Amino acid sequence: MVLIIVNVIVSLAMLIGGFCMRRVADVPGDHTIGFRTSRAMADDDAWSFANKRCGMYWLIIGAAGASLTAAAIFCAGNAAHFALLVAQTAAMFISAMVTEMQLDKRS
């Protein structure tokens, strides 16, 4: 049961984080929340690009995670819930690395 709750929390956090990143992407100069790397914060264009891109990834990952968590509640055991948690966490880090590589290609 704990893994289900953690999966729901991770999925919701990614959905909320993705929404926040997409929302702050067009706010120039306000780097208090969002994709905060030195490359992303270099200028307003990089900030907007990074937050829109990573926010989109997080929305997709969060929605997929929430859907899979809902499906796994009825038909999977603890191993599947743990695998889903690991997959969501890995996808979060991979999305950040992909966004950084895309920022590097832009400059």
Q: Which residues contact 68 (CB under 8 A, 6 or more apart)?
A: 84
pLDDT value for 18: 95
The band of 88, judged by pLDDT with boundaries at 50, 70 and 90, is: very high
Where in the sequence is the domain holding 88, given as residue range(s)? 2-106
pTM listed for this prediction: 0.87
Q: Is residue 75's pLDDT more than 80? A: no
Q: Is residue 26's pLDDT more than 90? A: no
Torsion of Cα atoms, 16 then 13 then 45 then 38, to 10°: 150
Domain count, the chain: 1
Q: Please state the rounded mean pLDDT for residues 53-62.
A: 95
pLDDT value for 97: 95
